[in-house]
Structure 1
Amino acid sequence: MNNIIKYLCRHHSLFLGGTLATIFLHTLALPVNSAPEPEVLENNPKAIVDEIWQIVNNEFVNPDFNRVNWQEKRRELLSQDYDSPKQAYKAIREALEDLSDPYTRFLPPNEFSVLTSQTVGEVSGIGVRLAIDKRTSEIYIVEAVKNSPAINAGLKRGDRLIRINGKPTALMSIEQAKEALAGELGTEVSLQLSRRNKGVFQVTLERAQIEIPAVTYNLQEDGSHRIGYIKLDEFSSHATEQMKLAIEDLGQQEVSGYVLDLRGNPGGLLFASVDIARLWLKKGEIVSTVDRRGGDRHFLANGTSLTDLPLVILVNEWSASASEILAGALKENGRATVVGTSTYGKGTVQSVHNLSDGSGLAVTIARYYPPSGTDINQKGISPNVYLELTMEQAVRLKNDPSLMGTNADPQYTRAVSILKGRTQPISAPATPKPVGLRWEELQETLKDPDPRWERMQETVN
């Protein structure tokens, strides 16, 4: 994990998520107008408190710190005695809350580790997707990731996981099983499994770096129309290459148009959103960012688009941040028709720093704007075609995610109808209604001829 963090730090990677947007920095800049006292000793909880204060002092987007006396805040924080890092973390959180910015936040070491894994799009493990039977609490493998130790060992969908390193999974939650499978690169994990028509068997696997798929796609045929359906789950560091592969592969299958599904996508790397926009957009502005000093940076298409075939984008109220950059750029440049409901409405950029004790800090450092220059913060991107799922439809897709991107998915069928020329895009209403059911609250379940799959909740390791 440390190597991953250093890689991100060196490359100053920008990340935008549904709840935060980030830039990883390798070194801490000198403080601006920082108070020189009181003295802070190394290896003291006060050291991490002051480290965080300095970062916020240098980078927070509002130079008035949302009317907080930040110099006085430092004196207040360092005048206290902290018996443990936990006490210091509590004081840090309270100080950051005073800034009235939900995206400037502290991440303890465990949360920061999860965030960096998601950003990089890689985890250390054996490469399996797990699900738990809600009725029996049995844990099953539902997928072995391509080029992973699990797939190389012949593990298959439906294999029941009995023990991990000798510990029975019957006593584990899905998260505990996931943690047990994770570990340092090159270390081994012993599994006892059961397979229908084979019985109980044992395998020992060596953990490897696993690339998490951010893109899934398939060809859908509707009469004489061949539609390329692409689902983008997040903007990780591997998302651009995976998107490029999807567009090219579907193009070779002679699709007549594409549907790009960004529903529920919380965001990811800013540069990934820009690079993916460039795969679709031949020319035009993609996004601009403005920092606390008024610095204005513009990101443009660069003539590297892979296709000019018709494109429809699906969004909902949980399409956030980098998803909004992509949808906004393609909509406002006339490259795509956007279908669904208004997006999340997060128009700020955060920096995420790896702190000296392994924790992390996210700080809002800039605001971003689509090509029109509209402030989308707390407003979102309005679709060309406003189509809200009913509660029944949303629950149906939640209970059977395999229906997304099929004729059982009303927003997808409207997208296909637009691609086929049966309807024309219309303007979104001035005050669109919110989605009835939040996608973030919809836990994935699985479908299989065996009814037990419908009782499963999915996770990835």
Structure 2
Amino acid sequence: MKTMKKILLGVVIVAVGITIVGRVVAQGELERKLETYLQVLDIVKNDYVEKNLDDEKLVYGSIRGLLSALDDPYTRFVEPKAFEEMKIRMSGTYSGIGIYIGIKKDQLTVISPIESTPAYEAKLRAGDMIVTIDGKSTKDMALEEAVSLIRGPQGTKVKLGILRIGWKDPRDFEIVRAKIKIQSLKAETLDSNIAYVKLNTFENLDSAREFEKALRKMKDSAGLIVDVRGNGGGLLQNAIDIGSMFVERGMIVQTIDREGRREQIESTGRVLWRKPTVVLINEASASASEILAGALRDNQVATLVGTKTFGKASVQNVRRLNDGSALLVTIAKYLTPNGEDINKKGIAPDIEVLIPTGEAEAELTEEKEDLQLQKAIEILRSMIRESVGG
């Protein structure tokens, strides 16, 4: 028995030794690579033709280069000024043109313009590709750099080069920046006693609280339409809190970290609505919008109507750095409660309702009927009749 214990102990020591050696080798490799980087930096500082180099620009550029190697547009570096603007935006107010953007198929793309903002009034559309910003090409441009270039003081102009499906060449849109105040939602009662809530954003810290307030006001309605079309997402917690208002027992979302560990985030059980529900989605519904839509669909408390969503299924953590800058780093991927991976795929609706696109849409009048909303109302009326046995 003693011999066996010695053998087992020896195996453990060897295994630990191999692990430590492996880590040391990996650390040594990294240090050698960093030595190469410092060597390049030293050559640039001492030999480059222009003597007065901006050290901050060199360092920040190096960080962006490092992050670009991850091939993840949502892991990004945010300079101090841009980070302050980001925190202001979370309060619901900032200066810019009012637009959600993302990276789709390696191209800077409009997720959606925000209603009643300069971008909306300029008739930018979901799916528009932004090829230039003030004449600067967006090829290989980091998402945060694009956001910083598009934002600016109220009253100033920004020129976006836009390429739209059906166009042969890009067209310039010159847009005057304005103070953007994003309302979390708009709520109203439609005909036939149907409650309608248009969720504009999950970014505001009070989005869930505002949604709860609206739901309580319309509690006597027979059915509910939750519209997340054009909603580019925001805070994960808002999606969890709102989803919990519909799901009594069950999962809202599940995440998978770098070690493959799954965390199942359950409903808080604070159910406020048990009546028939339809969720409107489209290709501009992203991130937290997709979490909410997936949670309500998989828990069988809502029917999804519209078109397939954007397909952003990753969770970012904000890490503040010593100089006031920040790193947004992807720490997990998420799946719907049923385990569906929607990253770069999106969530398909239960009932698809296509709307005209491209040149066909341009021929329609401004007062054109909202076909998706009308279909949602039709479906909801049928669900209400079934729920009361009619």
TM-score, length basis structure 1: 0.55
Instruction: Find the counterpart in structure 1 of residue 193 from structure 2.
Output: 226
Of 338, 344, 350, 2:310 maps to 344
TM-aligned CA deviation for residue 374 of structure 1: 1.5
Q: Which has the higher Rg, Structure 1 or Structure 2?
A: 2
1:256 matched to 2:211 = no
Of 373, 377, 380, 1:416 maps to 377
Contact 1:256 1:310 in 2 (8 A): yes
- Unpaired stretches in structure 1, ≥5 consecutive residues: 1-31, 38-68, 136-166, 182-209, 425-461
Instruction: Find the counterpart in structure 1 of residue 256 from structure 2.
Output: 290
Distance 1:337 1:120 in 2: 31
- Equivalent position amino acid for 1:288 in 2: Q
1:244 matched to 2:244 = no
Distance 1:34 1:275 in 2: 45
For the structure 1 residues 107 and 416, does the alpha-carbon distance in structure 2 shift closer, same or farther, using more than 3 Å as the test?
A: same
1:103 matched to 2:78 = no
* Range moving further from structure 2, 297-306 or 336-345: 297-306
Instruction: Find the counterpart in structure 1 of residue 109 from structure 2.
Output: none
Q: Which has the higher contact order (CA 8 A, sep 6+)?
A: 1
* Range moving further from structure 2, 232-241 or 93-102: 93-102
Distance 1:410 1:88 in 2: 51
- Equivalent position amino acid for 2:373 in 1: Y
Instruction: Find the counterpart in structure 2 of residue 50 from structure 1.
Output: none
For the structure 1 residues 211 and 300, does the alpha-carbon distance in structure 2 shift closer, same or farther, using more than 3 Å as the test?
A: farther
Of 41, 53, 62, 1:91 maps to 62
TM-aligned CA deviation for residue 377 of structure 1: 1.0
- Unpaired stretches in structure 2, ≥5 consecutive residues: 1-22, 46-52, 96-115, 123-152, 159-173, 386-390
Q: Higher helix share goes to which structure?
A: 2
Instruction: Find the counterpart in structure 1 of residue 107 from structure 2.
Output: none
Instruction: Find the counterpart in structure 1 of residue 237 from structure 2.
Output: 271
Distance 1:71 1:375 in 2: 36
For the structure 1 residues 372 and 215, does the alpha-carbon distance in structure 2 shift closer, same or farther, using more than 3 Å as the test?
A: same
Contact 1:256 1:309 in 2 (8 A): yes
Contact 2:154 2:177 in 1 (8 A): no
1:116 matched to 2:87 = yes
Distance 1:351 1:243 in 2: 24
Instruction: Find the counterpart in structure 1 of residue 184 from structure 2.
Output: 214
- Equivalent position amino acid for 1:93 in 2: R
TM-aligned CA deviation for residue 134 of structure 1: 8.8
SS state of the match for residue 332, structure 2? strand
Distance 2:206 2:82 in 1: 21
- Equivalent position amino acid for 2:374 in 1: T
TM-aligned CA deviation for residue 235 of structure 1: 0.8
TM-score, length basis structure 2: 0.64
TM-aligned CA deviation for residue 70 of structure 1: 5.9
TM-aligned CA deviation for residue 115 of structure 1: 2.4
Instruction: Find the counterpart in structure 2 of residue 142 from structure 1.
Output: none
TM-aligned CA deviation for residue 423 of structure 1: 11
Distance 1:74 1:345 in 2: 36
For 1:43-82, list aligned pairs within 5 A.
74-79=34-39, 80-81=41-42
SS state of the match for residue 379, structure 2? helix
Q: Show CA shifts across 1:36-69 (max 9, x none).
A: 89xxxxxxxxxxxxxxxxxxxxxxxxxxxxxxx8
Contact 2:244 2:271 in 1 (8 A): yes
SS state of the match for residue 279, structure 1? coil
Instruction: Find the counterpart in structure 2 of residue 191 from structure 1.
Output: none
TM-aligned CA deviation for residue 119 of structure 1: 3.0
Distance 2:371 2:30 in 1: 50
Distance 2:235 2:74 in 1: 16
Contact 2:88 2:94 in 1 (8 A): yes
For the structure 1 residues 293 and 70, does the alpha-carbon distance in structure 2 shift closer, same or farther, using more than 3 Å as the test?
A: farther
- Equivalent position amino acid for 1:414 in 2: K
- Equivalent position amino acid for 1:102 in 2: P
**Number of residue pairs aligned between Structure 1 and Structure 2:** 285
TM-aligned CA deviation for residue 413 of structure 1: 0.5
1:303 matched to 2:269 = yes
Instruction: Find the counterpart in structure 1 of residue 146 from structure 2.
Output: none
Contact 1:287 1:368 in 2 (8 A): yes
For the structure 1 residues 368 and 217, does the alpha-carbon distance in structure 2 shift closer, same or farther, using more than 3 Å as the test?
A: same
TM-aligned CA deviation for residue 418 of structure 1: 0.4
Instruction: Find the counterpart in structure 2 of residue 384 from structure 1.
Output: 350
